[in-house]
Structure 1
Amino acid sequence: MKFKHKNIIIAVLVIICFLPGLAGAKAQEPQTEAQAAILIEQVSGTVLYAKDAYRRMYPASTTKILTALLAVETGDMDALVTVGPEINLVSKGSSLARLSVGDTITLRDLIYGLMLPSGNDAAYTIAAYLARRQSGNPDLSAPEAIKVFVDMMNARARKLGAKDTHFTGPDGFHAADHYTTAYDLSLLAREAMRHPFIRTVVSTADYTPDSWKGSNTCSWKNNNLLIHSLNDFYYPAATGLKTGYTGQAGFCLISSGSSNALDLIAVCLKTSEAGRWSDAKALLDYGFANYTWLQLVKAKEAIHTVSITNGDYGQPDAVMLTAAEGFAGVFAQEDAGRIKKEIVIDNNLLETKNSLGEAAAAAQGEYALRAPLSKGQVVGQVKFTLGGRELFSADLIVTADVAPRPWWRTTPALTIIVCGLIFVAAITALSIRRRRKTELAPGNSH
């Protein structure tokens, strides 16, 4: 909504108290060993660092993030799944969860087997179950089911904006036409991390699947060393995500971390075994040291109290204005302290010094809104700017009804009424005086 407005002078500098260890000059971007890498803020998707992020790469087992996402989105987490001949399609040399044909296990536990030990057998079992469920055909053969699931994967990737991604299997085992980019993987990871269950799974160091019934049951350990405290690569702020390796893809890692309300996702593709850990830590360190997450305003947050003029007796003499929408975002640490907030009031509703007079203006804080006002009415905007560039604006909403003073109790009306009464009184008095003079004149006798 646009206004002919006056900028009420409430340009407030937003003061940001930097958290320990995050202040200081912006560091240089990290030097990564990975051939392709990207760092994004998880909530907004803002790119904070990129290196050949749009270059086609082999993703290896980081593919399984999309398999897990589809499982959560389209499956029944408590369904008891029977492991079938689809696991015979798993390539030799694959990482396994150690499932066997005929085993039974819930989809919930299968996802742990997919993401922690990176079980390709779990990937194929999940894929076959979801394809048969989605198609409504429980008799789909294993190859047919996998084909249906791959179509589901590619369709979901495209819907998420991963336009340079093409998958041929649920596990990421090498194929020439199974490819993606670091940027596309960040989109898939970001969507996956919206789900609390996936966040729980990828942050779990060790897991015992109680629902698994079979001959080779075991516990699983997460391959992501960033979340294991008893190793040299442990990263306290790490929250996940997924490792990957093939000879052609090299060592890969999608990592996530959270610190001081800032959630980051880092993607590192085709690096060395040690390099994937050091690259991930360097990217996360860079993000936490140089960026901050700010909630500038919340929806329905009280923004400003404005005085009211022309309100009826018993009505409030001031009203609170709240923001119609909220806004939060990631900002460079060096920019955070320069964000300004400005309140703009609709000039058509405004009473200022010129109309109120000096005394009234001083009493009412230099300006006031004129009744009537309705709860939910838009009377202005709150704006946030950085270096003269508008970041966000939200309508300002009145929080209470304010009835106007009846016309006959307004100052002009009362003035007319009083003047009228005085005039009538004067005419009446004059008439009485004339009548008395007439009565007392000579020759008038009763």
Structure 2
Amino acid sequence: MTIGLASRTAVSGCVLCAAGLLALAPAAAATGPGVDPAPRTTDAPASLLYRPGTHVRPRAGAPEVPDLSARAWLVADADTGAVLAAHDAHRKLPPASTLKTLFALTVMPALPSGIRHRVDPEELEDIGPGSSLVGVAEDRTYRVSDLWNGVFLNSGNDAVRVLAALSGGWRTTAERMEEKARALGARDTHVKSPDGYDAPGQVSSAFDLAVFGRAGLRSPEFAEYCARAEASFPARDGGSYPIVNTNRLLTGADGVAPYRGLVGVKNGYTSHAGNTLVAAARRDGRTLV
């Protein structure tokens, strides 16, 4: 993995500010079927990312790295996986709903979007107090695609619960998520609650979240959901109602200007984690995550 700018394109300060946690490829990714090998290290040892502080090697004329409020962040080229800049990239922190990126990477391939499922009341039990919800109703039939809209746009923990039930159950899904993370080379992540709800011992890192974001963008289905600003969600009475992505950089809600070129990926918040973000933007044929 490279540290510093991997091309003649300078990373602007506004890109760093807007994306907060932008992303990368694993330094020690496992290889095998369907898994990208780790990029070759040419500019600096990958172990540099394990050291505290900010690491960047800007080209002449590049702006200085701005002061950021994020406790940890990483910026990378989404295509090559080259790390452009990072700060405390492997610091283990609670991920909040950005963990839903790993949930989607794990569960989505096994659940065709057209499957229809009638929700059992037991599937909505044990949702954490204060959870974000999209409004999944018991004894109502939903398509899997409806539930994914609920996950990506409304960060609905109720939608996650139902999809996890369809994928083997809550604990099994958590175990599979950790296996998926390891297969991608993300070794800082420990999953206790697949929806990202605060749980003792549940952590990830800017590095790992960037790995998940980059992997997600390579899936057309994942990429379509994470870039969607609005959708309709089935209502309890048989009708539907509009839902809007909570990512204000994507929608421009609440006075936040839409970020030009943004293509997702997932934001999150809990009282313990604070605000978390996996973001990707594409300009002039290049995507940074």
Contact persistence 1:38–1:53 (CA under 8 A):
yes
Matching residue of 1:102? 139
1:123 Cα offset (Å): 0.6
Distance in 2, Cα, partners of 1:54 & 1:192: 20
| Residue 176 (structure 2) aligned to one of 148, 152, 168 | 152
The SS at the match of 2:196 is: coil
Distance in 1, Cα, partners of 2:85 & 2:259: 19
Matching residue of 1:421? none
Structure-to-structure mapping, 1:126-205, within 5 angstroms: 126-131=163-168, 145-205=169-229
Distance in 2, Cα, partners of 1:105 & 1:51: 41
Distance in 1, Cα, partners of 2:288 & 2:226: 14
**RMSD (CA atoms):** 2.3
- Larger strand proportion of the pair: 1
The SS at the match of 2:203 is: coil
Amino acid at match of 1:55: R
1:38 corresponds to 2:74: yes
* CA 1:199–1:236: 2 relative to 1, 3 Å: same
Between the aligned residues of both structures, percent identity stands at 30
1:253 corresponds to 2:277: yes
1:51 Cα offset (Å): 0.7
Amino acid at match of 2:237: S
TM-score, length of structure 2 as denominator length: 0.76
Larger radius of gyration between Structure 1 and Structure 2 = 1
Aligned residues: 234
Distance in 1, Cα, partners of 2:228 & 2:184: 26
Distance in 1, Cα, partners of 2:8 & 2:171: 53
Matching residue of 1:112? 149
Contact persistence 1:60–1:252 (CA under 8 A):
yes
1:159 Cα offset (Å): 0.6
Structure-to-structure mapping, 1:297-312, within 5 angstroms: none
Distance in 1, Cα, partners of 2:139 & 2:129: 20
1:18 Cα offset (Å): 8.1
1:125 Cα offset (Å): 0.6
Contact persistence 1:104–1:214 (CA under 8 A):
no
Q: Which runs of 5+ in 2 are unaligned?
A: 1-6, 13-58
Distance in 2, Cα, partners of 1:184 & 1:171: 16
Matching residue of 1:219? 242
Distance in 2, Cα, partners of 1:202 & 1:78: 18
TM-score, length of structure 1 as denominator length: 0.50
The SS at the match of 1:254 is: strand
Structure-to-structure mapping, 1:275-424, within 5 angstroms: none
Distance in 2, Cα, partners of 1:96 & 1:18: 40
Distance in 1, Cα, partners of 2:243 & 2:201: 30
Instruction: Tell which has more relative contact order, 1 or 2 (C-alpha 8 A, sep 6+).
Output: 2
Distance in 1, Cα, partners of 2:256 & 2:116: 38
1:88 corresponds to 2:125: yes
| Residue 122 (structure 1) aligned to one of 142, 151, 159 | 159
Contact persistence 1:105–1:213 (CA under 8 A):
no
Q: Which runs of 5+ in 1 are unaligned?
A: 1-15, 132-144, 266-446
Matching residue of 2:87? 51
Moved more, 177-186 or 83-92: 83-92
1:207 Cα offset (Å): 0.5
The SS at the match of 2:125 is: helix
Distance in 1, Cα, partners of 2:224 & 2:118: 24
Contact persistence 1:81–1:107 (CA under 8 A):
yes
1:213 Cα offset (Å): 6.3
1:45 Cα offset (Å): 1.3
1:17 Cα offset (Å): 10
* CA 1:245–1:18: 2 relative to 1, 3 Å: closer
Distance in 2, Cα, partners of 1:215 & 1:70: 32
Amino acid at match of 1:34: A
Moved more, 49-58 or 195-204: 195-204
The SS at the match of 2:142 is: strand
Distance in 2, Cα, partners of 1:115 & 1:86: 19
Distance in 2, Cα, partners of 1:47 & 1:119: 31
* CA 1:163–1:26: 2 relative to 1, 3 Å: same
Amino acid at match of 1:176: P
Contact persistence 1:104–1:213 (CA under 8 A):
no
Contact persistence 1:97–1:121 (CA under 8 A):
yes
Amino acid at match of 1:97: V
Contact persistence 1:157–1:163 (CA under 8 A):
yes
The SS at the match of 2:201 is: coil
Cα deviations by residue, 1:392-427 (Å, 9 ceiling, x for unpaired): xxxxxxxxxxxxxxxxxxxxxxxxxxxxxxxxxxxx
